[in-house]
Amino acid sequence: MRELFDEVAGQSPLDPQEAVRRTSRAPQRKRFYKEAGVAPADGGFAVTLDGKPIRTPSGRHVVAPTSDVAEQIAAEWHAQGETIDPLTMPLTRFANSVGEVADRVDAVADDVEKYLGTDLLFYRAGHPEALVAREAACWDPVLAWAANQLGAHFILSEGIVHVAQPEQAIKAARAVFPDDPWSVAALHVVTTVTGSALLAIALYRGAMDSDDVWAAAHVDDDWNVEKWGVDEEVAARRAARFIDFRAAVTVLESLRA
C-alpha cells in the first residue's frame, strides 16, 4: 500500500494538483484486501483493511479525527474494484497528506499566510462595469467581515499591480488559524484550490458556506464562461480542484460538528 500512494504525496504533501498529476502517471495496483473498516485509535479513529490500520507512504499510521471522517475514508477503500484508483479517493489522499505534515503544522500555516499578501480578493477588474460590480458583490462582504470580526483591514488594487498588505492585517488574520493538523491541512487545501486564504478562513470560521466560497473563488471564471463559452481544459482542472475542495470541506464540517 505504501508504494500505491508514494505518487500521491507529490512534491508537496499538501499540493492536490501535483498529487493528481503524479498519480495519473502511476500504474494502478490490484486490490489486496477484502474489507475496509474503522477502529478506535489513540487520538481518533483508524481505518483498517482486513483489520490492519492503513499507513501513509512514509509508514505513519493514519488516524482520523472523527468517526465520520474515518467512515468516509473506509468507504473509499470499500468502493474500489479489482484495481485501486487513488484518483477516486480524495479523503484518503488528504489523510495521507495530514500524516506527512502532522509535525509541521506551523510550516503549513506559514504557507497559508503567504496567500494573505496576494489574496485573490484584493485584485479587482477595472472593467467592464458588470464584472466590477459582480466582484464587489461577492468579495466585499468577505473583506468587511475580516475587518469587523478579525480586525484585519486589507488594501485593494486594480488589475495585477502588486500592493503590499499591512503587516497588522496579516497578523490579525493569521491569529485565527487553527492549530490542529487536520484543520490546518484543510485550510491549506481550500486556500490553494481557491487562491484565497480569506475565503478559506471565512469557511473555517463558519462565516460562509462551501457553495458560496466556491462561487466567490470563480467569479472571473464564470464571467468568462458566460461571455466566451466553456473551455474544456479549464473546466477539467476546475472539476479536479473541486474534488479536493470537497474533501477539505468534509473534514472541516465534521470537526465543526
Residue type, 23: T
For residue 39 the three cell numbers come to 477502529
User: According to the model, what pLDDT value does residue 68 have?
Assistant: 97
- Could you tell me which of 200, 196, 202, 207 has the C-alpha nearest to residue 248? 200
What's the mean pLDDT in 84-106?
Answer: 93
User: According to the model, what pLDDT value does residue 26 have?
Assistant: 58
Band (pLDDT 50/70/90 cuts) for residue 5 is very low
**Measured on CA atoms in the order 164, 166, 167, 171, is the torsion positive or negative?**
negative
Contact call for residues 53 and 91 (beta carbons, < 8 A): no
149: DSSP letter: I
Residue type, 231: D
User: According to the model, what pLDDT value does residue 117 have?
Assistant: 95
Pairwise CA distance, residues 1 & 186, whole Å = 24
Over the stretch 70-81, which tens digit does the pLDDT of each residue have?
A: 999 999 999 999
User: 16-25, 121-130, 155-164, 245-254: which range is least confident on average?
Assistant: 16-25
Q: What angle do CA 133, 138, 144 make, to 5 degrees?
A: 105
User: According to the model, what pLDDT value does residue 12 have?
Assistant: 46
pLDDT surpassing 80 at residue 13:
no
What's the mean pLDDT in 90-115?
Answer: 94
Average pLDDT, the chain: 90
pLDDT surpassing 60 at residue 20:
no
User: According to the model, what pLDDT value does residue 39 have?
Assistant: 97
Query: Grid coordinates 484508483 are at which residue?
Result: 85
Q: What angle do CA 186, 190, 196 make, to 5 degrees?
A: 135
Q: What angle do CA 139, 141, 144 make, to 5 degrees?
A: 115
Q: How far is CA 248 from the centre of its chain?
A: 5
SS3 70: helix
Phi first, then psi: what are they for 61, rounded to 5°? -65, 140
Pairwise CA distance, residues 218 & 235, whole Å = 11
Contact call for residues 177 and 187 (beta carbons, < 8 A): yes
User: According to the model, what pLDDT value does residue 161 have?
Assistant: 85
- Could you tell me which of 52, 35, 53, 36 has the C-alpha nearest to residue 44? 53
Over the stretch 51-60, which tens digit does the pLDDT of each residue have?
A: 999 999 889 9
User: According to the model, what pLDDT value does residue 141 have?
Assistant: 98
Domains and CATH numbers, the chain: 2-101 (3.30.2180.10), 105-256 (1.10.3580.10)
- Could you tell me which of 18, 184, 173 has the C-alpha nearest to residue 101? 184
For residue 16 the three cell numbers come to 492536490
**Measured on CA atoms in the order 84, 88, 94, 95, is the torsion positive or negative?**
negative
